[in-house]
Amino acid sequence: MSLDLLDTPAAIIDVPRMDHNIALMQQHMRTLGVHFRPHVKTTKCVEVVRAQIAAGAKGITVSTLKEAEAFFAAGVVDILYAVGIDPSKLKRAMALKQKGCDLKLVVDNPAAALAVGEFVREQGVAFEVWIEVDTDGHRSGITPEEESLLEVGRILRDADVKIGGVMTHAGSSYELNTPDALEALAEQERAGCVRAAQRLRDIGLACEGVSVGSTPTALAARHLEGVTEVRAGVYVLFDLVMRNVGVCRFDDIALSVLTTVIGHQADKGWAILDAGWMAMSRDRGTSKQDRDFGYGQPCTLDGTPIAGYLLSGANQEHGILSPIDIDDGSTGSAAVSDTVDIRDRFPIGTKLRILPNHACATGAQFPEYHALDAEGELTVWSRFHGW
Amino acid sequence: MSLDLLDTPAAIIDVPRMDHNIALMQQHMRTLGVHFRPHVKTTKCVEVVRAQIAAGAKGITVSTLKEAEAFFAAGVVDILYAVGIDPSKLKRAMALKQKGCDLKLVVDNPAAALAVGEFVREQGVAFEVWIEVDTDGHRSGITPEEESLLEVGRILRDADVKIGGVMTHAGSSYELNTPDALEALAEQERAGCVRAAQRLRDIGLACEGVSVGSTPTALAARHLEGVTEVRAGVYVLFDLVMRNVGVCRFDDIALSVLTTVIGHQADKGWAILDAGWMAMSRDRGTSKQDRDFGYGQPCTLDGTPIAGYLLSGANQEHGILSPIDIDDGSTGSAAVSDTVDIRDRFPIGTKLRILPNHACATGAQFPEYHALDAEGELTVWSRFHGW
C-alpha cells in the first residue's frame, strides 16, 4: 500500500524523522550524563516505544494505568505512572506489581501518601513512590520549600513505603519561545527538583531519584547536575506548537494527517477536506503563540509545507483549507494571490498531509498510525485508547 | 457496579435524560409532519441508535463509512452518508451497497458528480445520490440559486444516477442564542433547501427528498413545508454549547465525565482532577459564547451542577477545577467565598461528574459509555473509533 492509495483521513508517522528525533534526544541525554525515560502518552504505541528503548531509553513514563498494563504486557518492566495516584486505583496498580511490573507511583499530598501507606499495610504490596515537585506553578506538585514536602516524606517512611525519588514537570515551557527563556526554565526545573531531594535527604530520608523534564526544557538544558533522569514525550514526533516554541523545525515534525479534497467554496477561497476536528483533534495550541496555524499546516503528499495556506476551520469530518493573507516568511514564499482559483489549485481528490498543532492530541483521534519508512512503504502501528 | 466504584475517568450517559431528549425530538418531528433521521456521529453507539429507532426514527445519518459499515452490521439499512463523497471511497461504498445497505451518497460539485457517474458506468452499482445545498454559508454545499446546482443535477441524470434529493445543514445555528434568531435560521434553512429542490424539479429532474437539520434549527422550526426529513445529532445527549444556544437546560445534558480529585494547589484554590483534555476533549466551544465553561461544569455524583466552580484548565490527564469569581445566577447560588479551603471542599478521592462543552467531541475520547439507568445500574455501551 502506498500513501496515495490509503483511505483518508489517516495518521502518518514519518519513520526517518521519528528515528532522527529519538536519536537526537538520546544523544543529548548521554552528553548530559542522565538516563532518559520517555513519556509514552504521546504515541501509546508499542513500535514507537521499542524504537525509543532500542536507542537507549531506560524505563518509560505513562499517564494512565492502561498504558502501564499494555506496555508491561509488551515487555516493558520499569514504568513510572506520572499522575498523582487516585487511592481507588491502588488495587489495579497492585495487580501490575504482583505480575512483576516495577511500577512507580506518584503522590503530591499527605492524604494520598496516607492512603498509599494504609493500602501497603493492609495488602503487603511493596509500592515504590515518587514525590511530585512543583517547580513552575504549572499544575501539580509540592514546591521545594513547602513543609508538606517533608510531611509526605515522613508519612511514606513511617508506613515503610520506599521513596524512589522526586519528580517534576515544567509544563509552562510550552508558553516560551526563546532559547534563553527555555534554558532558564530548564535550570529552574533542575534546581527546584534537586533542592526538594536535598531537603528530604537532610531529614534522613532516602531519595535516590531526581527526575525532571518536558520536551522544551529537556532540549534546552545545558547541565543537569544532581538529576538522575529526564522525561519527555512529544519530542518523538514534534508538532507545530513545538515548532513555535523553537525546539524543532517543520522538517522534524514526524506526524501528519493524510486527507483528501472533497469540495470547494470558490468564492471564499476554501477547499473542503475530509480531515475535520475528529482527525486533527480540537487542539488549538498555536492560537496563543506568535504564529497561529489554525487546525494545521497543509503539506504536499511528500511532506513539503504549502506556503500561504492553513487549515482555518474544522467541523467533525470537514476541514476548511484557506489562503492566509500575510506571509511571515517562515515557509519561504509569497502570500497566495487573489487570482488563484482554489478549485484549480486543489482539485477534488487531491491528497494532502496536515501537520498538527499537538501530536499527543491528534494521535489520540486514531486507532492506529501508518508508519511511512524511507522507501515509502507503509506499516500499520496500532495505539491504545481509553483508560 | 455503582457509579462511585467505577474507574475514572469514565463517560456516563444518563439514560432517563437521553430517553427524554429522544422522545421530545421525535414528538416535535411528528408535530411538524416530517421523518426524522438522527445523525449518529454524536454517539457512534448501537444501543443509543436502537433507542432512537425504537422511538420512531426513519434511517440514520453518518459522517464516516466506518459508521455506515458498523450500523449496517447492526441491522440499520437506510443510511445517509452526509459528507461529500471522496471519489476514492466509492469502492468501499459499493461494497456496502452490494451487501444490501441502502446507502445514500452526497455530492456538492460537478467533479465529484462526474466521478460518481463514471464509477457507476464502470461498476454498474445503483448509487443514490443527494445534492448538498448551502443555506447559511457555514461549510459545504451549493447555494440554491447557483448554476452549478443544475449542472450537478444534469451530470447525475446523464449518468443514470438516481437523485434522492437535496440536503442541507445550517451549522451556523451553533453561533446563535435567541429563539427568534434560531427560528429565523430554521426558516432560512427550510426555504433554501426547498428552493433548491424546486429548481431541480423545474428542469425535469426527480428530487423527492428534502432533508434539513441541525439540533438548534430542528428544535426551533415552527413549520417545515416542503421538507421530507430532518437530521440532528447532538440533541440526544446535549451539552454546554447547546445550553448556551438555548435549546436545553443543565438538567437535559445526558453526558458527563466521572472523575476523581487527585490533588490540590490550595494557594491557588485549585483541585486537580484525573479528567484532563484526554477525557473532556480539547473542545472549547463555549469560549466564544456568553458563558464560558472552561473545559466543563462540575457536578456532584448525582449530577447536580456545583455553583461557583468550573474546569478552568486541562492537561492530558489532569483537569484543574477552580472557583469562578462572578456568579451569573444560572446555577442559582452565590459566588464561592475566598475563605473556602479547596482541600476541605473537594478532598482527595472525591468523585465528581463534569458536563462537557461538546458531547460529540467528549464521547469520541472514550472507547465506551457507561449507561446509568433510573435505578442507578450501569451498563457498558461500546462506541466506534476511527474511520
Within 8 A of B116 by CB-CB distance, chain A residues are none
Cα distance from B16 to chain A (closest Cα, Å)? 25
Q: Encode pLDDT of A13-32 as tens digits.
A: 999 999 999 999 999 999 99
3-state DSSP of A122-191:
HHCCCCEEEEEECCCCCCCCECCCCHHHHHHHHHHHHCCCEEEEEEECCHHHHHCCCHHHHHHHHHHHHH
Mean of the per-residue pLDDT values of chain B: 96
Contact B140 A318 (CB under 8 A): yes
Q: Which of A159-173, A271-285, A329-343, B272-286 has the lowest mean pLDDT?
A: A329-343
Contact A112 B262 (CB under 8 A): yes
CA-to-CA separations, B55 to B20, B59, B93, B281, in angstroms, rounded: 10, 12, 28, 30
Q: Which residue has the cell 437523485?
A: B163
Which residues 6+ apart lie within 8 Å of A352 measured at CB? A258, A259, A260, A261, A273, A298, A299, A300, A301, A306, A321, A346
Q: Output the pLDDT for position B333.
A: 47
Q: Encode pLDDT of B122-169 as tens digits.
A: 999 999 999 999 999 999 999 999 999 999 999 999 999 999 999 999
Q: Output the pLDDT for position B1.
A: 77
Within 8 A of B171 by CB-CB distance, chain A residues are 315
Q: Which residues pair with B14 in a beta bridge?
A: B372
The minimal CB distance from A84 to the residues B9, B85, B263 is found for B263
Cα distance from B251 to chain A (closest Cα, Å)? 25
Test the A interface: residue of B315, B345, B358 with most A CBs within 10 Å: B315
- CB-CB contact of B86 with A272 (8 Å): no
Which residues 6+ apart lie within 8 Å of A37 measured at CB? A57, A58, A59, A60, A61, A78, A80, A211, A229, A230, A231
The 10 Å Cβ neighbour count of residue A350 is 16
* Structure letter (DSSP) for residue B294: B
Within 8 A of A283 by CB-CB distance, chain B residues are 277, 282
Q: Encode pLDDT of A285-320 as tens digits.
A: 999 999 999 999 999 999 999 999 999 999 999 999
Within 8 A of B265 by CB-CB distance, chain A residues are 134, 140
Examine the pLDDT at A332 and tell me if it is beyond 90: no
Q: Encode pLDDT of A206-261 as tens digits.
A: 999 999 999 999 999 999 999 999 999 999 999 999 999 999 999 999 999 999 99
- Of B273, B259, B269, which is closest to residue B323 (Cα–Cα)? B269
Contact A86 B274 (CB under 8 A): yes
Largest CA distance in chain B: 75
CA torsion sign, A362 to A275 to B92 to A345? Answer: negative
Examine the pLDDT at B254 and tell me if it is beyond 90: yes
Q: Where are the alpha helices (DSSP H) in B159-294?
A: 179-202, 215-220, 240-245, 277-280
Cα distance from B144 to chain A (closest Cα, Å)? 14
Cα distance from A270 to chain B (closest Cα, Å)? 9
Q: Output the pLDDT for position A281.
A: 98
The minimal CB distance from A83 to the residues B111, B283, B318 is found for B318
Q: Output the pLDDT for position B339.
A: 75
Contact B283 A284 (CB under 8 A): no
Q: Model pTM?
A: 0.96
Mean per-residue pLDDT, B250-264: 98
Cα distance from A86 to chain B (closest Cα, Å)? 5
Contact A263 B361 (CB under 8 A): no
**Cell numbers for B276:** 484532563
- Can you state the angle between helices B65-73 and B46-54, rounded to 10 degrees? 70
Cα distance from B307 to chain A (closest Cα, Å)? 23
Test the B interface: residue of A64, A65, A83, A173 with most B CBs within 10 Å: A83
∠B141-B25-B289 over CA atoms, to 5°? 65
Computed over its alpha carbons, how large is the radius of gyration of chain A? 22
Q: Where in chain B is the domain with CATH 2.40.37.20?
A: 250-382
- CB-CB contact of B11 with B363 (8 Å): yes
Within 8 A of B175 by CB-CB distance, chain A residues are none
Contact B88 A260 (CB under 8 A): yes
Q: Where in chain A is the domain with CATH 3.20.20.10?
A: 16-237
DSSP strand pairing (A10-14 vs A368-372)? parallel
The minimal CB distance from B315 to the residues A92, A134, A171 is found for A171
Whole-number percent of chain A with pLDDT over 70? 96
State how far the Cα of B236 lies from the Cα of A228, in Å rounded to an integer: 51
Largest CA distance in chain A: 75
Show the beta-strand stretches assigned E in chain B.
10-14, 35-36, 60-62, 78-81, 102-107, 128-133, 162-168, 209-212, 229-230, 255-265, 270-273, 297-299, 309-314, 319-323, 351-355, 368-372, 378-382
Q: Output the pLDDT for position A326.
A: 55
Q: Which residue has the cell 532559547?
A: A179
State how far the Cα of A358 lies from the Cα of B346, in Å rounded to an integer: 31
Within 8 A of B108 by CB-CB distance, chain A residues are 263
Q: Encode pLDDT of B36-71 as tens digits.
A: 999 999 999 999 999 999 999 999 999 999 999 999
Contact A262 B349 (CB under 8 A): no
Contact A140 B171 (CB under 8 A): no
Question: For the domain A16-237, what is the CATH code?
Answer: 3.20.20.10
Contact B89 A7 (CB under 8 A): yes
Which residues 6+ apart lie within 8 Å of B147 measured at CB? none
Q: Encode pLDDT of B333-348 as tens digits.
A: 445 556 789 999 999 9
Cα distance from A367 to chain B (closest Cα, Å)? 6
Test the A interface: residue of B4, B86, B283, B286 with most A CBs within 10 Å: B86
Contact A318 B83 (CB under 8 A): yes
Cα distance from B305 to chain A (closest Cα, Å)? 23
Cα distance from A263 to chain B (closest Cα, Å)? 7
The minimal CB distance from B83 to the residues A86, A274, A364 is found for A274
Question: For the domain B250-382, what is the CATH code?
Answer: 2.40.37.20
The minimal CB distance from A348 to the residues B41, B112, B315 is found for B112
CA-to-CA separations, B220 to A134, B244, B246, in angstroms, rounded: 50, 14, 10
Within 8 A of A348 by CB-CB distance, chain B residues are 87, 109, 111-112, 115
- CB-CB contact of A311 with A320 (8 Å): yes
- Can you state the angle between helices B110-123 and B147-158, rounded to 10 degrees? 10
Test the B interface: residue of A132, A265, A352 with most B CBs within 10 Å: A265
Cα distance from B255 to chain A (closest Cα, Å)? 17
Q: Output the pLDDT for position B336.
A: 55
The 10 Å Cβ neighbour count of residue A151 is 14
Which residues 6+ apart lie within 8 Å of B93 measured at CB? B65, B68, B81, B85, B103, B105, B127
Predicted ipTM beyond 0.85: yes
Examine the pLDDT at B217 and tell me if it is beyond 70: yes
State how far the Cα of B236 lies from the Cα of B19, in Å rounded to an integer: 8
N-terminal to C-terminal alpha carbon distance within chain B? 32
Examine the pLDDT at A333 and tell me if it is beyond 70: no
User: Which phi and psi angles does B287 have, rounded to 5°?
Assistant: -65, -25
- CB-CB contact of A51 with A18 (8 Å): yes
Q: Encode pLDDT of A169-188 as tens digits.
A: 999 999 999 999 999 999 99
The minimal CB distance from A367 to the residues B108, B171, B386 is found for B386
State how far the Cα of A349 lies from the Cα of A23, in Å rounded to an integer: 37
Mean of the per-residue pLDDT values of chain A: 96
At position A159, the amino acid (one-letter code) is A
For A269-330, the DSSP string reads TEEEES--HHHH-S--GGGGSSS--BT-EEE-TTS-B-TTEEEEEE-SS-EEEEE-S---ST
Q: Encode pLDDT of A29-75 as tens digits.
A: 999 999 999 999 999 999 999 999 999 999 999 999 999 999 999 99
Examine the pLDDT at B332 and tell me if it is beyond 50: no
CA-to-CA separations, B356 to B17, B29, B100, B250, B275, in angstroms, rounded: 15, 26, 38, 11, 11
- CB-CB contact of B160 with B126 (8 Å): no
CA-to-CA separations, A277 to A300, A354, A386, B259, in angstroms, rounded: 20, 12, 18, 24
**Cell numbers for A303:** 511532506
Q: Output the pLDDT for position A208.
A: 98
What SS3 class is residue A231? Answer: coil
Mean per-residue pLDDT, A155-179: 97
Within 8 A of A277 by CB-CB distance, chain B residues are 283, 361
Q: Encode pLDDT of B374-384 as tens digits.
A: 999 999 999 99
Mean per-residue pLDDT, B76-94: 98
The minimal CB distance from B272 to the residues A140, A281, A347 is found for A140
**Cell numbers for B66:** 466506518
Within 8 A of A260 by CB-CB distance, chain B residues are 86, 88
Contact A316 B360 (CB under 8 A): yes
At position B333, the amino acid (one-letter code) is S
